Amino acid sequence: MTQVIEIGIIGSGGIAAAHARAYKKMPDVKIVAVADVIPGKAKEFIQNLELKDAKPFDDHQELLHLDLDGVSICTPNVAHHLTTVDSLSAGKHVLVEKPMAVTLQQAIEMVEASKKADRMLSVGFQPRYDPNMQAVKELVQSGQLGNVYYVQAGGGRRRGMPGGTFINKELAGAGAMADIGCYSLDLALNTLGYPKPLTVSAYTSNHFGTNPLYHQEADRFDVEDFGTAFIRLEGGIVLNFKISWAMHMDSLGPTLFLGTDAGLKLTPAGSGPWSGVWDGGIGEISMFHDIKGHHVETEIPVKQHQLDIFYEKVRDFVVSIKESRSAPIPGEQIVINQAIIDGILRSSDEGREVSIEIPNFN
C-alpha cells in the first residue's frame, strides 16, 4: 500500500495557498491540519481550498499535537523561527518559506533544533528547480570557467515594492535583501558550492519606500528598498551583490561569473518593472573566452521547460520524507545566506566592512 504523508500548514495567507495547491496534486499526500493566528482564518482557508481532510487551528501548538510527517511554514518572516523550532521539537520535518529567518541567531537556533530533533529543515527556494539554474551550476562546477574569482549577482525590480509585513523591519528582518536578495544570493552561492563568506562591506537605502509619491505605506516603511555589497568569500572569490525593489533604471545588469579560463553571463528574463535575475528568471546564457587572442562567445540555449518549479520544491520535500533523505535545501547551508544578509545590514548601519562568523554545526 502507498505510504500517505500527512502534512500540516502553519500560516494560511498567500503563499500557503500555493503550498496547498501543490500538495493537493499529490495522491500520496493528505493535508490534515492548518493553523493561523487570526481566529477563523485557517477554517476559511480550508473551505476555500476544499481541503476535506484538514482540521483548522488558531494556534500552531495545537496542530503540532497531531501525528504529522511534515509541516509547511508559511507565516510572515518574523514567525518562521518560533514555528519552525516548535515543529522540529515536536518531531515534524519542516519546509520553511524564504527567507529562512529574521536574524542570523534565529537561523542558527533553527538548525540546532533540527539537529537535536533529527528532523529535516529545508528552505523553500523554488528557483533551485529551474533547469537553467541547474545548468549554470553544472557548468561552473565542471571547471569549464577555470577558477572563478569574481561574481556579480542580484537584480533589480524597477517598480516592485510589496507592503504589509514585508516593509517592517521587526516583522520581516530586512526589505529587498530578505525578500528577493536571498534568491540572488542563493543563485550565486549555490552555483559556487556555498563557500563561506568572510567579510562584507555594504550600503543600503530606502529613498522610494519612505517617499509617499512611491509608496502608499511610506509612514511605516523602515526597511531597505535598495542595497549593494562587496562580499569576500573563501577561496579568493569576491561577490559584487546588488538588489532593488525600486529604482530609476530598467535593470541592475546581468549576473556574471568570471573565471580564469572563461566567463559566464546570465541576462535577466523579460523587461519592465519586474525584470531581473534575482529569482531564476534567466533570459540568456552566454560563455565568453579567448583562445590565443581570439574572442569567442558561445550562446548556451536557455532550457524551455514546462516544470512548475513551486510544485517541484514541495514535491522534493515530500519525497525526501518518504525516502528518509536529507533536506533538499538544508537549513545548515542557508544559514550562510542569512549570515550575509545579517552582515549587509550590520555593515550598512556601521558604515564599514564587517566580518562574518558562521558556527560549525556538529
Ligand X SMILES: NC(=O)c1ccc[n+]([C@@H]2O[C@H](COP(=O)([O-])OP(=O)(O)OC[C@H]3O[C@@H](n4cnc5c(N)ncnc54)[C@H](O)[C@@H]3O)[C@@H](O)[C@H]2O)c1
Which positions touch ligand X (CB under 6 A)? 10-16, 35-38, 41, 60, 74-77, 79, 83, 97-98, 124, 126, 164-165
d(CA 250, CA 248): 7
Q: What crossing angle do the helices spanning 309-322 and 14-24 adopt, rounded to 10°?
A: 60
**In whole angstroms, how close is the CB of 10 to ligand X at the nearest point?**
5
Q: Name which of 9 and 246 has its Cβ closer to ligand X.
A: 9
**In whole angstroms, how close is the CB of 254 to ligand X at the nearest point?**
23
Transcribe 69-125 into DSSP letters: SEEEE-S-GGGHHHHHHHHHHTT-EEEEPSS--SSHHHHHHHHHHHHHHT--EEE--
By beta carbon distance, the residue nearest ligand X is 13
Query: Which amino acid is residue 298, in one-letter code?
Result: T
Coil vs helix vs strand at 232: strand
Sheet with strand 226-233: strands edge to edge: 294-300, 282-291, 263-268, 255-259, 148-153, 237-244, 226-233, 197-205, 354-355
- Residue 279 CA: distances (Å) to CA of 44, 316, 326: 31, 19, 24
Q: Name which of 45 and 194 has its Cβ closer to ligand X.
A: 45
**In whole angstroms, how close is the CB of 139 to ligand X at the nearest point?**
25
**In whole angstroms, how close is the CB of 73 to ligand X at the nearest point?**
8
Q: Name which of 83 and 338 has its Cβ closer to ligand X.
A: 83
Residue 89 class from Cβ within 10 Å (0-12 exposed, 13-18 middle, 19+ buried)?
middle
Q: Name which of 176 and 233 has its Cβ closer to ligand X.
A: 176
Scan for cell 498567500, then name that residue.
14
**In whole angstroms, how close is the CB of 66 to ligand X at the nearest point?**
15
Number of neighbours of residue 52 by Cβ within 10 angstroms: 8
Q: Name which of 5 and 177 has its Cβ closer to ligand X.
A: 177
**In whole angstroms, how close is the CB of 181 to ligand X at the nearest point?**
12
The answer to whether the beta carbons of residues 45 and 8 sit under 8 Å apart is no
Q: Name which of 26 and 37 has its Cβ closer to ligand X.
A: 37
CA proximity to 275, closest of 159, 178, 119: 159
Scan for cell 499526500, then name that residue.
29
Q: Name which of 4 and 37 has its Cβ closer to ligand X.
A: 37
Q: Name which of 263 and 331 has its Cβ closer to ligand X.
A: 331
**In whole angstroms, how close is the CB of 128 to ligand X at the nearest point?**
11
How distant is the alpha carbon of residue 5 from its chain centre?
25
Backbone angles phi, psi at 321, to 5 degrees: -65, -50
**In whole angstroms, how close is the CB of 71 to ligand X at the nearest point?**
11
d(CA 93, CA 312): 17
**In whole angstroms, how close is the CB of 236 to ligand X at the nearest point?**
33
Q: Name which of 114 and 126 has its Cβ closer to ligand X.
A: 126
